[in-house]
A and B are shown apart, each in its own frame.
Chain A
Amino acid sequence: MSRINMGAVAIFLLAGSLPGAAAGAETTAITGAKVYTMGPQGVIEDATIVIENGRISQVGANAQVPAGAEIIDAGGRPVTPGIFDANSYFGVAEVSLVEETVDLFQSGDRYTASFELSEAINPRSTLIPINRIEGVTRAMVAPDANFMPELYTTPITGLGTVIQLGSTSDYVVAKNAALFVKMGETGAALSGGSRGNNVLRLREAFNDARDYAANRNDYDQGERREYSVSKLDLEALVSVLNGRRPLVAEANRASDIEAAMRLAEEFGIRLIIIGGAEAWIVAEQLADARVPVILNPLQNLPTAFELIGSTLENAALLHSAGVEIAFSTGGSHNARNLKQAAGVAVANGLPHDAALAAMTLSPARIYGVDSNYGSLEAGKEADLVIWSGDPLEVTSFADAVYIRGKAVPMESRSTLLFKRYRDLGGDWPPAYIK
């Protein structure tokens, strides 16, 4: 092997991106941290987190630092799991109004439940560094008809995939982890104009899928009645019927949430509500049925008739009723502001630890990826953030971010633009500053 080739290998190793290499093979110990574990250990002061091979091996005040570990002194600063955006368009929309860069919706109804984004995601999107240097490490990437509803003809939006934001290879955490559908005003508009049609279309699709699952052979031999959706879509729907995937239904009006719950009960579906502006009104039913709600804590204006009951206290009321909540504000360019939204929820009655959970452990549980992520516990992947102060405070920022044990470079297109224009008036144009 020539020297040049050896050099190339060395660079790969330094970058930790040699195909097949385990991420973060080195050992790191973060000491002196105020650790919000989000697990049974609660908050631990002056604690150490040991990271080995990308995973947390120890957390606690008495954790032993292995010999040769790189030691990062947190100096009493807070450490939390990385932030998880429960509904995003990371990697499937670069510039929202530039259609060529937007892959998160499709037109027509050739595909409905089977429409998926896992192959469409661009892990090199500029949105990823801009948000991960501020602590966002995981996200559900979901199709969204709201982006351009006039192109849609089906309320069954498609499958969402959970990703991690730390690597351009191996970024898919849970492929096609949930099926998304629209109810309420959008669902009605996509179903022929009425909420009645909306529920009928969903019921028809699930009935077809149920029939299909029981009669696959007959279907393949053309001996079954015609279904409302294609074979691919039926398979995706079956996975929801058999509990392998949850159904994430966008519903905001209390009665729409109740309609979604009736549908879920009818088919024995694991339901998640997204939107949920009036969920507080039906909080007890949601808690009884163990239906989680993904909400935007900032939603408080009656900007649509289905949002009339919107209130900043939604998160607090749902939590106190025992409903599991997760946060998303919908705009992935600024997913970094999820923590601000969480802070607003706290300012309106939500306990601080519940707000943190709604951005970490809860979305992980909702999407079934909590065995590897969501809390700082031994055995889980080391997605964590060292914050300059209270992680929910608007004046705090991420000092260091680890994803799967690897420190992410604290650089983005935005930080480079800032450096370029930090001082105007040089002899040469800014174009020479890189």
Chain B
Amino acid sequence: MVALALAAMLWMARHTASYDDNRAPFTVHGTLGETVRGRDFAVTVEKVELARALRLDAGDGDPPRRRDTYGVWLVAHLRVEALQQPLRFQRAELHTPDGYYYEADDRRVDMDYRLGGVEIVPGLPQRGVVAFEIPRDKLAGTVLEASPDRYRIAPDSVAVIDLGLTRDRVDGLLRDMPESLLLVSRYASR
């Protein structure tokens, strides 16, 4: 009886989820162009572009402000839908195969241009961009992780999207990369 109890305790100790496991998000996987559905959101990466610089046009008649980088800008065009209640799509990171990650640039690309600044309500999907600065040699194999929960307060769904950045594809994108990419404020037409 004692041996059985000990065996049961050992089995439970080995198979009980750790704290990290308990706090881990529920990952849902997808690829470029595919709609990935989490518990309370759905996201599609419609397009990925690279550029040496960004030009931010506020639509106020002033010339666009230029944002340079020592690496490249990766701009992902997303379509996001809220499936339960209003949300802001606030967390986007690029994860490289060798363990590095790069957060979307919220400092140099302010919220008038990026998707994270928009409240997304059920039934009214929104399109927008997230922009990352990333070294050129980190592009291959990079995946996008995105979710509404910026600080991972509660374990919930996180979309992990393969951007299809194979070595050949990265070489092609870098070769055809424009000198700069124009982003227009969503308030430009108001």
Q: Do A and B bind each other?
A: no
